[in-house]
Structure 1
Amino acid sequence: MKPVERAQLAMMLEVCAYPKPGNVDRCHDYPDTRLEHFLASTILSRTALEEAETGTGRIGEIIKHAVRDTNTHGGGNTHFGAFILLIPLVYGNDIPGAMKAIEKTDVSDAIAFYKAFAMTTVRMNATDELDVNDPHTLTVIRDREMTLMDVMTHSAGYDMIAREWVTGFPLTRRGADILIRTGPGRDAIVQMFLYLLATEPDTFIIKKHGSAVATEIMRAARDVLDGKRTAENLDAECIRRNINPGSIADIVIASIYIALGEGWSWDS
């Protein structure tokens, strides 16, 4: 299977797996974002993913192209965080290759990334000096000669997607290992999602609801793994409270991509 196909399959498998507490899946939607929007994004991102597979473009520009191409549906941002992880992984074909690629990013990658960010409705840290909504931010990036890796380092303290870049994709690697250890089938994806959710607070939840809620959901995921409550029960609670572990979902996609490349099978 080509890297592009693995990436598209990973996005599709993640959104279809159920129950993943709080996230859109094949059993429930959000008011403004439906399963179909995620599936459309999977298809519409192919051209950008093919750019990454050839390894000839700039990573920042390719992320921008992916966001641009998937903004053509009405469901808002569906895969921005996933693209941040997937595109270097497809570019480098695996985690070591991705790390070599992102270490070569430059100021142009950072500028393109911020232009992509501006196309989304993704929440930022309220005190971030590199505010995507501030036109002066691009001037700051240029003046400081910040590479895209520098931008991710700047964000790593409060964003777990950026932290994957800086620390070598450890949660992505852990998730892939869980899939391979658990075995084939969609239930393995749910188990991996719950394990990662129980590992550390989801930073998308933190940005939307605060650290206390993110810690609460992390502990609730541990209770599910320990058999103290069901995944369906936690899912219902998250939906009721509008709690969305979106960063974990993005890492799950990257983990599925890696696992598929290492022989894990979904078709069982």
Structure 2
Amino acid sequence: MTPVERAQMAMMLEVCAFPKPGNVDRCHDYDDTRLEHFLASTILARPALEMAAEKAAGPGEIIHRAVALTNTHRGGNTHFGAFLLLVPLIMGDGIEGARRLVATTTVEDAVEFYRAFQETSVRVNPGDELDINDPGAIDELKKRELTLYDVMLHSAPRDMVAREWVNGFHLTRKAADLLKQFGCGQEAVVETFLFLLATEPDTFIVKKHGEAVAVRTMEHALEVRSGLRDIYDLDEELIGKGINPGSIADIIIASIYIALGEGWEWDC
């Protein structure tokens, strides 16, 4: 399986796994984003993923390209965070190479990333001094000579996907190991997702609903892992309230990509 195929498989396997409390999967849609939107993005992203494999441009431009290709359906943004992880992992041929690559990003990478962000409806933290919605944000990046790594460093305290760039893809590595520990196929994906949900406050939930809801979601996931609550009950509750752990889903995609390259079996 090529790196591009592994990336597409990772995107597909994550969204199809069931039950993943709160997220779109084979049994749950949201009104504005459905399973087929995620699957369409998996297919539409291929030219950008090929650019990453060929190292045909900088990571910022490739992330922008991936977002542009997949922002062509009515489902809105589906994989922005996943592209932020997959592109350096593909370009770096794994986690070690990705660590080196992100440290050498440029101001132009940051500019392309901001341009990609401005073409989506991705949630951001209000009041950020580098507000993506500020028309002068790109000029500020250039003025301060901020690289894409600098932008991720700035965002890391409030965004767990950005945090992966600055902590050496720590959760991606951990989740890839968990996938192999939990076995194979869909059950391993669900168990890994639930583990992260019980131990990490999902920053997409924080942005959308506040920190208290993110912490409460962790507690509920821990109850499921402890056998005190039914996973299907939690899934229905989160779906009903629109509480979707989107950042954890992005990290699961990256971890599946890594695990597939290390021999993890998806079709057991």
What band does the TM-score fall into relative to the shorter chain?
over 0.9
Aligned to 1:107: 107
Q: How does 1:1-268 map to 2 (within 5 A)?
A: 1-268=1-268
**Structure-1 separation of matches of 2:184 and 2:208:** 34
Deviations 1:128-178 (A, max 9, x none): 111111111111100110000000000001000000001011111111000
Q: Percent identity?
A: 64
Q: Which runs of 4+ in 1 moved over 4 A?
A: none
What letter is aligned with 2:218?
A: M
- What amino acid does structure 2 have at the position aligned with 1:185? G
SS of 1:198's partner is helix
What secondary structure, in the 3-state scheme, does the structure 1 residue paired with 2:222 have? Answer: helix
Q: CA deviation at 1:251?
A: 0.4
CA distance in 1, matches of 2:109, 2:166: 16
Residue type at the aligned position of 1:99: R
- Counterpart-to-counterpart distance in 2, 1:194 and 1:92: 28
Question: Could you tell me how far apart the structure 2 residues matched to 1:160 and 1:100 are?
Answer: 19
What SS is found at the alignment partner of 1:32? coil
SS where residue 60 of structure 1 aligns?
helix
5+ residue gaps, structure 1: none
5+ residue gaps, structure 2: none
Structure 2: distance between partners of 1:81 and 1:165 = 12
CA distance in 2 between counterparts of 1:19 and 1:34 reads 15
Could you tell me the TM-score, scaled by structure 2's length?
0.99
Number of residue equivalences: 268
Deviation at 1:199, TM superposition (A): 1.3
- 1:118 Cα deviation after fit: 0.5
Q: Which amino acid aligns with 1:167?
A: N
CA deviations on 1:35-92 (whole Å, 9 max, x unpaired) are 0000000000000000000123100000000000001111000000000001100111
- Residues 208-235 of structure 1 deviation map (CA, whole Å, 9 limit, x = unaligned): 0000000000111111111111211110
Name the SS of the counterpart of 2:158 in structure 1.
Answer: coil
- How far apart are the structure 2 equivalents of 1:56 and 1:69? 16
CA shift at 1:182, angstroms?
Answer: 1.4
SS at match of 2:199: coil
Q: CA deviation at 1:253?
A: 0.3
Letter of the aligned partner of 1:100 in structure 2?
R
Q: Is the 8 A contact 1:223 1:229 kept in 2?
A: yes
| TM-score (normalised: structure 1) | 0.99
Measured after TM superposition, the shift of residue 2 of structure 1 is 0.3
8 A Cα contact 1:55 1:92, kept in partner: no
Secondary structure (helix, strand or coil) at the match of 1:249 reads: helix
